[in-house]
């Protein structure tokens, strides 16, 4: 009986009156919060799965207006949404190259001596003096003279001399001495004192870790060079948004440094793992950067215009009641009764959700105030009804408190002596 009085006071309050029982309404609460409170405190019957049973609700037009119940018709529509996230501009890994020597030596001269300097492919970076290189070049010239002297003699000696010459040529090739340089050495007989290291790609020097006079060892990184004509923007997406973003999806990119500018990119990779702490998945967007204005380390905002399907059954998100056990929608049948129906939800957009099972195109459903309807449905499921209502419906007119009597004008005549 107490819960019935609470719902009656709630309906009256929705009509514009004041609650009559202090226990039936808490100050500062909305009508929907009252309904949630009521629904949470009403223990109805349960079905075989343990879920609470709901009953159909019959409302009059006056009750619908008083409670703010509105309806919408289920249609098939495209489900689109914009997924927004933040990311960071990073260097494209496929456009990065390290410059490392393959021989021990000493840096005799730097041709590119500053981080950030632009370079082109094949441009000299430094001259490296390598004593071993000098020794091998002399071996090459000696082997070449020996082959020339034994050219007409034949036999094992000539073969060994030719094998030594070929081995020396290969050894120089292993140190990135080109075939043209070797041929010039053999023609001129002039030993090259230094080895010139050239840039393997066109781009910008991101890191320079060498100075003139420095001793370098094989495998030591001297330069890191990257082509920034194309960069990556990597962002983190929540799990529920992954259904909207896939490889090949377009992305809109904005950076704080260039307000109002708009760039386009394309998703080329969705990382195969989810971060267990943040529950996010990283995605990679490739963005053209011919003007070089996108700089590695910049923060960027990514927008993905996602399409979850064409011609899907979708309903407003507010039309669905999520109980924790199942998802319910109240459908108005041919008699006008509001019948609870369980639905299976799919992808969500900003204000709509896809319904995979439970609704058909053309169904009329409750679009607002459904928590109030649900509260009455739960009351009706175990036989608690308001006086003057049918099927557990809230009689808003009967539940509304009577208006206070109008104050009559004071007609008493006062004499003044």
CATH number of the domain where residue 266 is located = 2.40.30.170
Give residue 287's pLDDT band: very low, low, confident or very high (50, 70, 90). Answer: very high
Q: Are residues 252 and 291 in the same domain?
A: yes
- Of the candidates 94, 123, 90, the one whose C-alpha atom is nearest the C-alpha of residue 223 is 123
The pLDDT of residue 373: 83
pLDDT tens, position by position, 225-249: 999 999 999 999 998 888 788 899 8
pLDDT at 116: 92
Q: Quick: pLDDT tens for 209-220.
A: 999 999 999 999
Residue 192 and residue 105 share a domain: yes
* 111 and 65 inside one domain: no
343 is a domain residue: yes
Residue 7 has pLDDT above 60, yes or no: no
More confident residue, 383 or 76: 76
Assess whether pLDDT exceeds 60 at residue 60: yes
Specify whether 260 is located in the same domain as 207. no
In which band, very low, low, confident or very high, does the pLDDT at 47 lie, cut at 50, 70 and 90? low
| 213 and 114 within one domain | yes
CATH of residue 357's domain is 2.40.420.20
In a domain? residue 173: yes
Rounded to whole angstroms, the Cα distance separating 91 from 227 reads: 8
Question: Both 107 and 214 in a single domain?
Answer: yes
pLDDT confidence of residue 55: 82
Higher pLDDT among residues 167 and 400, named by residue: 167
- Share the mean pLDDT of the chain: 80
By three-state DSSP, how is residue 22 classified?
A: coil
pLDDT at 389 over 70: no
Mean pLDDT check: name the lowest of 8-17, 112-121, 336-345.
8-17
Question: Which residue blocks in 278-390 are alpha helix, DSSP H?
Answer: 370-381
pLDDT higher than threshold 70 for residue 82:
yes
Residue ending a domain, choose from 286, 307, 328: 307
Same domain membership, residue 139 and residue 121? yes
- Grouping H, G, I as helix, E, B as strand and the rest as coil, residue 131 is helix
Where is the domain boundary, 307, 336, 351? 307
Distances in Å between the Cα of 145 and the Cα atoms of 94, 172, 188, 259, 413 are: 45, 18, 13, 69, 145
| pLDDT tens digits, 240-278 | 888 788 899 899 999 988 988 889 999 999 999 999 999
Task: Report the C-alpha gap between 254 and 262 in whole angstroms.
Answer: 6
Are residues 205 and 241 part of one domain? no
Kindly state the DSSP code that residue 52 receives in the 8-state scheme.
B
pLDDT greater than 50 at residue 19: no
* Among the listed residues 274, 174, 179, the one whose alpha carbon sits nearest the alpha carbon of residue 218: 174
Domain that residue 115 falls in = 101-221
pLDDT at res. 111 = 96
24/170: higher pLDDT: 170
131 lies in some domain: yes
Q: Which of 35-39, 277-281, 282-286 has the highest mean pLDDT?
A: 282-286
Q: What is the mean pLDDT of residues 354-377?
A: 86
- Structure tokens of 232? 């990556």
Q: How confident is the model at residue 285 (pLDDT cuts 50, 70, 90)?
A: very high
SS3 content of the chain, % helix, strand, coil (to 5): 25, 35, 40
Is residue 125 included in any domain, yes or no? yes
CATH assignment at residue 144: 2.40.50.100
Residue whose tokens read 């349960």:
46
Question: Does residue 189 sit in the same domain as residue 213?
Answer: yes
What is the predicted pLDDT for the residue at 18?
42
Residue 189 lies in a domain: yes
Q: What is the pLDDT of residues 301-336, one digit of tens each?
A: 999 987 666 677 888 888 898 887 889 999 999 888
Integer Cα distance of 175 and 220 in angstroms:
14
**For residue 5, what pLDDT is reported?**
41
Q: Quick one: which of 58, 61, 55 has its CA closest to 341?
A: 55
Q: How far apart are CA 70 and CA 62, in angstroms?
A: 12
> Does residue 413 lie in a domain region?
no
As a dihedral over the C-alpha atoms of residue 120, residue 126, residue 132, residue 134, rounded to 10 degrees, the angle is 90
Give the C-alpha separation, 400 to 62, whole Å: 12
| 411 within a domain of the structure (yes/no) | no
3-state secondary structure 72-120: EECEEECCEEEEEEEEEEEECHHHEEEECCCCCEEEEEECCCCCCCEEC
Q: Rounded to whole angstroms, how far apart are CA atoms 193 and 186?
A: 15
**108 and 138 housed in the same domain:** yes
**Number of independent structural domains in the chain:** 3
pLDDT of residue 377: 79
What residue has token string 């109805």? 44
Q: What is the mean pLDDT of residues 10-29?
A: 46
* Helix boundaries (H) for 150-231: 155-174, 179-188
Q: In the listed set 170, 201, 221, which residue is the last one of a domain according to the structure?
A: 221
Does a structural domain hold residue 266? yes
């Amino acid at each position: 009986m107490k819960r019935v009085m609470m719902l009656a006071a709630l309906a009256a309050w929705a009509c514009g009156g004041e609650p009559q029982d202090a226990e039936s309404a808490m100050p500062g609460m909305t009508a929907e919060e009252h309904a949630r409170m009521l629904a949470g405190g009403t223990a109805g019957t349960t079905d075989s799965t343990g879920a609470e049973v709901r009953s159909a609700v019959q409302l009059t037009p006056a009750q619908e207006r008083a409670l703010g119940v509105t309806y919408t018709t289920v249609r098939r529509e495209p489900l689109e949404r914009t997924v927004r996230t933040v990311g960071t501009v990073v260097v494209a890994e496929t456009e990065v190259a390290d410059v490392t020597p393959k021989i021990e030596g000493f840096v005799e001269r730097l041709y590119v001596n500053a981080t950030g300097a632009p370079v082109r492919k094949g441009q000299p970076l430094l001259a490296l003096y390598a004593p071993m290189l000098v020794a091998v070049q002399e071996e090459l010239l000696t082997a070449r003279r020996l082959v020339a002297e034994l050219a007409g003699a034949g036999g094992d000696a000539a073969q060994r001399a030719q094998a030594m010459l070929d081995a020396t040529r290969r050894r120089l090739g292993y140190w990135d001495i080109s075939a043209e340089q070797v041929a010039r050495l053999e023609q001129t007989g002039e030993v090259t004192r230094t080895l010139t290291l050239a840039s393997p790609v066109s781009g910008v020097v991101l890191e320079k870790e060498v100075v003139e006079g420095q001793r370098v060892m094989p495998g030591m990184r001297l330069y890191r060079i990257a082509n920034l004509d194309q960069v990556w923007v990597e962002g983190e997406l929540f799990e529920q948004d992954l259904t909207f973003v896939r490889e090949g999806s377009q992305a809109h990119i904005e950076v704080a440094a260039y307000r109002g500018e708009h760039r386009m990119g394309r998703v080329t990779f969705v990382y195969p793992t989810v971060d267990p702490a943040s529950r996010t998945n990283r995605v990679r967007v490739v963005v053209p950067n011919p003007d070089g204005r996108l700089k590695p380390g910049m923060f960027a905002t990514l927008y993905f215009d996602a399409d979850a399907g064409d011609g899907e059954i979708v309903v407003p998100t507010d039309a669905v009641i999520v109980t924790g056990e199942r998802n319910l929608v109240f459908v108005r049948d041919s008699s006008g009764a509001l019948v609870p129906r369980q639905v299976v939800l799919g992808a969500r957009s900003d204000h709509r959700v896809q319904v995979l099972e439970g609704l058909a195109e053309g169904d009329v459903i409750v679009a607002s105030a459904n928590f109030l309807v649900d509260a009455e449905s739960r009351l009706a499921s175990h036989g608690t009804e308001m006086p003057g209502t049918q099927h557990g419906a809230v009689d808003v007119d009967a539940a509304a408190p009577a208006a206070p009597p109008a104050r009559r004008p004071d007609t008493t005549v006062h004499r003044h002596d």
